[in-house]
Chains A and B, each alone.
Chain A
């Protein structure tokens, strides 16, 4: 009996234990599920948090009939403002007080583009490691060491001296922050949810960082290390032939024959420059990790009324930048008592950047001057506390850069600053290569005090040419070719910027940092900036080519593309009775003027008799090509590959033993070389005893190219559009958020400069008739949200070369049917 009792008791204990075990197990599973689905510890993404319909990505799936109307109250406003959104979600802001318009602009930039604004400024500030961990540490260190934050701080101090600009920036920042404070875990922009971080508040410094980011993108390109290597590696005669400072085909922005006054600043080259500087034999020991895209260029032009059908000037601009989603640009109209402007704005900065107002229109192309030079610094010892300069030891100052890293302790980088600027590369950091025995300081105009915001502010307010003249000098870095046209008929262009007055060759290579004669001796005075005002030929234009010919008294470097400028000027010269429609056709023109010059030389030298049938067939595509790089044409693909292999074949032997980072010549140098002289010195393969001829090399290269051409043909992507395969990348390079395989022609050296992921980022045409007639489009959409129908809605139209009519809304048009939503801002 007792035994039985004991048995039942044991059974009960087991049952009891099982029950609790089960409870414990299910409780553990539940908690584990919540934990795993809320963090990235097990899964690559917190799926519960990301997919939960009330907070996750579903909340970013904007209803296609979303209502953007709202009634908002803020106590920082001075008056009332109303925003009318049209059917493309372009805001038309009408504010009683100018600063309120900037507040609203900041609010809307944040509402539609916050994530990109912050990412760009975090990138500029070298703070990406905070989000993604130490994979970005080299990027962050390089940007800090380039002095990006240092530059933005200097900008902020300078900007604050200018009250209207300070007020505009303050209002803008307040607007951005007014939006940020409305954010919660549900309405946070999608990318924050994906990456798992949250936005911080905006500040004027961040606007400065954004402007410095643009300065980096447009005015930080230089090849000092690569050129120094080329100088050290090549014979002097070879070097000069590879890197001429003028191209035969140059058609400068300011036409040849313009008379320039004698220079006010005459830079003197050091006596020992020939033996020391131009005779460097040591190959440089650092190179940048990241380089701004070299193709960051643009087209702009203005034609006077004498050449247009309406008799009024037309201004056109298309800046070529990385094709990204969300787009760099945000379309906007700002209407306040002081002015009424429309155009493309930068999320991150107040005002209209490229656009027009009721009196005039303005646009920009990149100047492309070399305003970033390196100096080799000799420190007294490892402590880097002093450096040799001008025959004595000078003290350095230090800037401590504290880099936060996600999941790791902070990284402390100490950067020495010299008279030139920060010592970017030293034994602690040497970029892509790790020799670390030398120290290089960087001198960059973006570090100098400047107030570029004033340029845009003044242009937004500008009424006439004089206002434009007043505004232009505020543009220091990045130097730009500023085009202008006004309703009174004036057209103008200025190759504007803060440019060092260099002696010939200064800054092409790394300079000694011990000797003040190598420092910049002065800046080119504003009254010697090359410009054109109402020229007789009836138009002004620029396309990043060298601004002037060799008669200009200052040295301008040797790295400018020529073909686009050539074809634009050729076409504009021939055009008469121009309409906006003609300008659309010109901006989207796919004629390849470089091919027009190169194909005849290739075909003349191609030994047809030595080609197999298949090779002949492809040569036939080249023969029958009309030099138009249309999306469905096959000739451009054949040409692209034939030229690439030709260039490789010609230079392969010369570069076979060159240092890894050695500058390559411009393609027009090779083309002009073989046009001038079929015995162009680099054609011969120096590794053989025979003398190779041009026909031999062209034929050899063409046969190599045919291998690639055949492959492309078999894969059905010989058509240029398919071969080039243009895409508009999301900033995180997520294919799902990008637009891939965009069917569009054009390319390098073509007015429609659309390459693989780069091209016309905003096309604008403004006809300054009494009632302004304007057109524009950019490859993106007004919303930065990948879950919005306004995210990429303009891309197909952009690719097809179509435009939207830009509506400069009048206060009386509130009832117009184009107005779809209305957002009211008033004082609370």
Chain B
């Protein structure tokens, strides 16, 4: 359950942050959520990855559908060098996913470093 709430929080926070801040604020959002909600590192990465993939691919799909994929078709020609609206949606999702995943992993690692005592004294 924890990872589902993380996933949702990451998506909601990322969305809210991008209303005011540049796109890379998704990294801050995922980092903070992973910092506050403890999870295994691997799970944290996956949560950030999946959360942002769903958010970014989902949003772009929604926008593109209402646009009859006109612009996705054109932009895919420029970015992917072939007309493929679906693929540009997936690429959008993946870009968000990797940034989100790595930011969440960083958050998770910071949490562990802060929480665990540094070197124990031996004497």
Chain A residues within 8 Å of B36, by CB:
none
Of the listed residues B63, B96, B105, the one surrounded by the most CB atoms of chain A closer than 10 A to its CB is B63
Which residues 45-102 of B sit at the A interface, judged by CB distance below 8 A? Answer: 55-56, 59-60, 63-64, 66-68, 70-72, 74-75, 77-79, 88, 91-92, 95-96, 98-99, 102
Whether A37 and B106, one on each chain, are in contact in the complex, defined by CB atoms closer than 8 angstroms, is no
For the complex formed, measure the closest distance between the CB of A173 and the CB atoms of chain B, giving whole angstroms. 30
Partner of A64, one of B67, B92, B96, B110: B67
Instruction: Say yes or no: B106 contacts A736, CB within 8 Å.
Output: no
Residues in chain B within 8 A of chain A (CB atoms): 15, 18-19, 22-24, 26-27, 31, 55-56, 59-60, 63-64, 66-68, 70-72, 74-75, 77-79, 88, 91-92, 95-96, 98-99, 102-103, 105-106, 109-110, 112-113, 118-120, 122
Alpha-carbon distance between A45 and B88 when the two chains are bound, in angstroms: 14
In the complex, whether A19 has a CB less than 8 A from a CB of chain B is yes
Assess the A47–B78 pair: CB atoms within 8 A. no
Contact partner of A34 among B55, B56, B64, B99, CB < 8 A? B99
* Contacting residue for A58 out of B63, B113, B120, CB 8 A: B63
Contact A185 B67 (CB under 8 A): no
**Dominant secondary structure at the B interface:** helix
Inter-chain contact A56/B119, CB cutoff 8 Å: no
* With A53-B60, A63-B63 already in contact, 12 other A-B pairs whose C-beta atoms are closer than 8 Å: A13-B119, A16-B119, A23-B110, A29-B102, A51-B79, A52-B23, A54-B15, A56-B23, A58-B71, A64-B66, A194-B78, A788-B70
Residues of B within 8 A of A734 (CB): 78
Q: Beyond A23-B110, A62-B67, is A53–B72 a contact (Cβ under 8 Å)?
A: no
Is B74 touching A53 in the complex (CB atoms < 8 A)? no
Q: Is the CB of B70 within 8 A of A33?
A: no
Interface residues of A (CB under 8 A from B): 5, 9, 12-13, 16, 19-20, 22-23, 26-27, 29-30, 33-34, 37-38, 45, 47-65, 185, 190, 194, 734-737, 786-789, 791
Indicate which residue in B67, B102, B109, B122 contacts A19 across the interface (CB closer than 8 Å).
B109
Give the residues in chain B near A20, CB-CB below 8 Å. Answer: 113
**By the criterion CB–CB under 8 Å, are B56 and A57 in contact?**
no
Contacting pair A61 B23 (CB below 8 A): no
Contact of B59 (CB < 8 Å), options: A19, A37, A54: A54
Inter-chain contact B99/A61, CB cutoff 8 Å: no
**Given that A33-B102, A52-B56 are contacting pairs, would A65 and B66 also be in contact in the complex, using a CB cutoff of 8 Å?**
yes
Give, as a whole number of angstroms, the nearest-CB distance from A19 to chain B.
Answer: 6
Between-chain CB contacts (< 8 Å), 8 pairs: A19-B109, A30-B103, A47-B95, A53-B59, A54-B18, A190-B71, A736-B77, A789-B70
A26 and B60 contact, CB distance less than 8 A:
no
Shortest Cβ distance from A28 into chain B, in angstroms? 9
B19 touches A48 (CB 8 A): no
Most chain A C-beta atoms within 10 Å of own C-beta, residue among B15, B74, B77:
B74
Q: A12-B119, A30-B103, A38-B23 are in contact. Are A63 and B74 (CB under 8 A)?
A: no
Selected from A57, A737, A789, the residue in CB contact (under 8 A) with B68 is A789
Q: Are B78 and A37 in contact (CB under 8 A)?
A: no
The reply to whether A60 and B66 form a contact with Cβ atoms under 8 Å apart is no
Give CA–CA (A50, B56) in the complex, Å: 12
**A194 to B74 alpha-carbon distance, docked (Å):** 13
A16 to B116, CA, bound (A): 10
Alpha-carbon gap, A27 to B112, bound state (A): 14
- Separation of A51 and B97 alpha carbons in the complex (Å): 12
> Please, which residues of chain B bring their CB within 8 A of the CB of A27?
106, 109-110
Give the complex CA separation of A736 and B56 in angstroms: 23
